[in-house]
Structure 1
C-alpha cells in the first residue's frame, strides 16, 4: 500500500511558463482617418477589415458596426467644428466662456459613442468574445493624443487553472 499525501502545495503563478497561463492577444487598434479632428476625436474610423478577425466575425457585421460609428461621427464632429470656430472667434470677448459649448458637445459625442459601442457589445461582440471601446492613445512622434477604437479579446475561461 502506498500512502497518498493530502498536503497543499502553493504554486507561484508569476513564475509559470507563458504557455500554462492563458494569454489574450493584444487589442486591435482602429485609428481615425478622417479630415477633421476635434479634441482627439476624428470624424471617421478606418473601415478596412483586420485580417486577424478572419474567421471570428463576419466582415459584413464589422463593416456595419464601423459604418454606424462613422455615420454618427460624420454628423456630430462637423457640428462641433462649427461651434469651435465660433468659440475661438468670440473667445476674447467672452473671457473663454464661448468654449464651454464645444467642450460639452465633445463630451456628449464621446458619451453617445460609448453608449453605441456598449449596444454593439451586448448585441454581438460579447457573444463572440470581443469588447469594443474607445480609448485615448498617444500619437506616434507627438505629444498629442487621439481616440482610437479598440477591439479587445475577452479571455476565455481557463479550466486548467485551480480556483
Structure 2
C-alpha cells in the first residue's frame, strides 16, 4: 500500500493559485529574464524557503542564459526586418518557444521530485494584462486541498 500521495490524488484545488510574476529588466515575447527568490506568504508553511529559492534559482539560470541570447538575436532581427519581410525575427521566435519548453520541463521535473508530494503544482502560465492585452508568462503554484480522510470510501 502506497501511503505517499501525489498531486493527482487530490480531487480539488484551493481557490486561488499563487502567482509569481517576473521581476527582470528584459521582457521578450512575454518572458521576463528573472523571478524574485522571495518566498510568498501563502507558501510559508507549505514549502521550505531553501527549496523554493533553489527552484527559483534554477528557473532564473535558464532564463538568464536563454533570454539574454534571445534578446541579441531579436535586436539583430529588428535591424534587418525591412529587408527580409520579417523572416529575420524567426530565430528569436523559435528560441523563445524553446525557452518556454525548457522551463516547462524543468517545472515538471521539480514537481515530480518534490512539490507533488507536498500537494503543490508549479506550472508556467500565460496571462493577459492591461487594456491592450499584453502577454506575460508567470509561474503558477497551485495548492491542493487536503483530502478528507474521515469520509468513508
Taking structure 2 as the reference length, what is the TM-score of the superposition?
0.85
1:48 matched residue in structure 2? 38
2:126 matched residue in structure 1? 136
Residue 69 of structure 1 is aligned with which of 59, 62, 65? 59
Residue 36 of structure 1 is aligned with which of 22, 26, 36? 26
1:110 matched residue in structure 2? 100
Which consecutive residues of structure 1, in runs of 5 or more, have no partner in the other structure?
1-21
What is the aligned length? Answer: 143
Distance 1:55 1:162 in 2: 28
Q: What SS does the corresponding residue of 2:36 show, helix, strand or coil?
A: coil
RMSD: 2.0
Distance 2:138 2:151 in 1: 33
Is 2:57 the partner of 1:57?
no
Distance 2:13 2:150 in 1: 13
Distance 2:135 2:59 in 1: 20
Is 2:109 the partner of 1:119?
yes
Where relative contact order (Cα < 8 A, 6+ residues apart) is larger, the structure is 2
Q: Deviations over 1:37-90 (max 9, x none)?
A: 000000001211111111211000000000110111011101000000011111
1:145 matched residue in structure 2? 135
CA 1:139/1:53 → structure 2, altered by over 3 Å: closer, same or farther?
same
Taking structure 1 as the reference length, what is the TM-score of the superposition?
0.80
CA 1:88/1:23 → structure 2, altered by over 3 Å: closer, same or farther?
closer
Q: Which aligned pairs between 1:10-29 and structure 2 lie closer than 5 A?
A: 24-29=14-19
